[in-house]
Structure 1
Amino acid sequence: MKYFGTDGFRGEANVDLNVVHAYKVGRFLGWYYGQEHKARIVIGKDTRRSSYMFEDALSSGLTASGADVYLLHVTPTPSVSYVVRTEQFDCGIMISASHNPYYDNGLKVINGNGHKLEAEVEEKIETYIDSPEDTIPFATREKIGRTVDYAIGRHRYIGYLMSLATRSFKNVRVGLDCANGSSYSVAKGVFDALGAKTYAIGMEPDGTNINDNCGSTHIENLQKFVIDNDLDIGFAYDGDADRCLAVDDKGQVIDGDCILYLCGCYLKDKGELNNNTVVTTIMSNLGLYKAFDKVGISYEKTSVGDKYVNANMMQYGHSLGGEQSGHIIFSKYAVTGDGVLTSLMLMEVMLEKKQKLSELRKGLTIYPQLLKNVRVGDKPAAKNDPDVVAATEEVAKALGQNGRILIRESGTEPVIRVMVEAETEALCEKYVDQVVRVLYKKGHVIP
């Protein structure tokens, strides 16, 4: 599709994604969901400076088409999914570019079931955006929509999160890195209310510092924070708080694969791991699969993207799935990745087992992994170049059963991702560079 990728309509604000786009998305959705009744649509946003602009543009388009708009204000993406699903909204829109820099933004549309919008509806939106004429009627008189302050929806989501905790967090020293993003309005309040001794950073958003040397994309800050303050555990979120990475008491990173391992083993022990299966993506570490084999847990592998993980979980009824990046889905409690919810589940594992995460993770050995992002002019041409394919096959043969190589196109950027797992970091570097050199040699790389 032209505008919508794997994670909504995303790009640099007022360059790739501008206010006219947002207005037209609002116009279409207000009309589409309002053909048989007055549409009710909820909007959330992260802390980017441009999020306020897009909120206004979307609201104008939606109300002009007759929809009533409910504003959650700054809130995590999963809260929009929760509110849509539990309070019978027609759809929801989250304004965020997740882990991207502040100057990017995005529109993530969520359907009435709390899932990402169907591709066929996204295609209709794109057709309308590019239409030279406005074919959608304007609402008039009493049919014109209005905007409503709906901060109460976010408060209900916070209450829901708190209700999931099985025991008090009293005397547990917890560090949070809220990335100067959406979680700053939610996470610390939840942990404080549950009794933790909470220490938080990334709590001063100014519109341009979201994900800036903080949050899950800069986990080294939380590692240092946990060690310096002698904390029991730390959690880092991305800009819209739909993903979470953790740091154990030793300062070691607990990535999405490790979270899947810890929670998968825990749910299996409790008899709550549906189908004895964890859903992963092709980016998950080889060490995770070897660890699952040892403890007798089955696994699925999907394409990269939490929507593919979620689709697999829904189709087969699995209870746990996620990505190495920290998008973790617990289907008993949510239909999307939720960073704060993931934090609470890890707290449950640690408290129920009465062990530190550094002890609980000992059954998992993560293989060294190197991922390099290469900017290219044409993603399919670069990936499918015969010489690139041959170089990839040569590396795969050399690695054999002791590693793997994966080349894929980014769903949101003009980037080819080259990833190698091997027994040593030196081997990872060697084999990644072997393929990247071919991309340069064949003229696919752009500045």
Structure 2
Amino acid sequence: MSLPAGEATFAIADLDSTLAQRIVDVHIWAVKAGLRGADAPELFDGYCQRLVINGTPLWRAHSAMETLHPQWRGYGVTWRRDLNAIAPESYPHGDDDDPGWVRSPFNALIERARAGEANPTMRRRLAAGPAERDFPALEEFFAAGAADYAAYLFVYGDPAAMGAAQADRSHGGGVVYSFATDRKSGFADDDLALVEATLPALALAMKAHAGHAIASGLLRAYLGWDAGGRVHAGAVTRGSMERLTAAILFADIRGFTPLSDSAPGPAVIDLLNDAFEAMAAPLRERGGQVLKFIGDAMLATFSFDEEGRAATCARALDAAVEARGNLEAMNRVRAEAGAPVAEVDFALHAGEVLYGNVGAADRLDFTAIGPAINEAVRIEALCQPLGRAILVSAEFAAILRDAGRPLPSLGLHALRGVRAPKELFALDDDGAATAPGSA
């Protein structure tokens, strides 16, 4: 029993009592799982397990959804009977023209939806002959033992807008499913009746998760992993702040104003992207959180408790050193290509910060503020006069010294806006390095 254009042509009362009960059970499970907030992998795994329990000879199943994220175009989940497990995957931007995608059943369904077909479906009896294997992926499935294949697309919103730049993708563009069996006779009518009657409930549950995942991903991409997670979890009250002790890393591109005045806008943006990635990458595996990019500067924190302060400050220092190495390598490549380069100064400090919501009633920022942040900014401003790429505060250096990692002192220096002079420290091997192509 196959449904044309995604529309049901039967009522539950028309089915035998066993199949009707299976449909009701799977439908109720999907609704409850969606209300509980199950994520897409859990939903799809649970759905496939229930198909198998109800006698569907499932061999392989796949689900894919479009998303809204700076890194990813979409994500998918594959279920396999031989593993009795799922394998999540993500799809980066920029592979829309990949031949494997262009010549896929999923892309064919999407093109049909864009042409106006409501929730298009596809059925291919792979064992019936080459004409039924009209996509390379279907030939691969057949060679691996599949005999029958069915695919379904559920569109979220306007089908004609799927994939369009101006489309509202706050819940994703839609979800597509495929199911394959290796039973020689293929899927029975009851197998597909169960799938087609219950997939809309699963699609709705996955849409709910898609909205949650998109909001979470965007908040973390634009606010930072920790700050975005806190906001999404409910930390939204203006003025709500938490006191944290943290290592603070502040980095700024030296001489950026004249560079931005002389270089074309796209070249400046390209340089900023390369430089920020070189600086941020070492933080990810060391527990650092990028709080914000401020023009050509980056502010990051590594929160710690008393017990873990030495290890945390060591990780912060290692991140700065690795970032400096990344920038040197980046500058060599850019200089050889005749592109602008970036000389970056770093300041490391440790102290108490206020972390939370600040701003106007209708425009908030989740950030860190306090004297320690201001001092880190002032310390960085002394990198060029002192001929250093990395400067360290006395508070940060004391923590490292107590852990057996002393740094050489540069003496007392006045910080703009700070009442008393502050002792600053540097790395043994840190000198006045000039970026390739900047002299």
Please classify the TM superposition score into its range, dividing by the shorter chain length: under 0.3
Taking structure 1 as the reference length, the TM-score comes to 0.25
Please tell me whether Structure 1 or Structure 2 has the larger radius of gyration of its CA atoms. 2
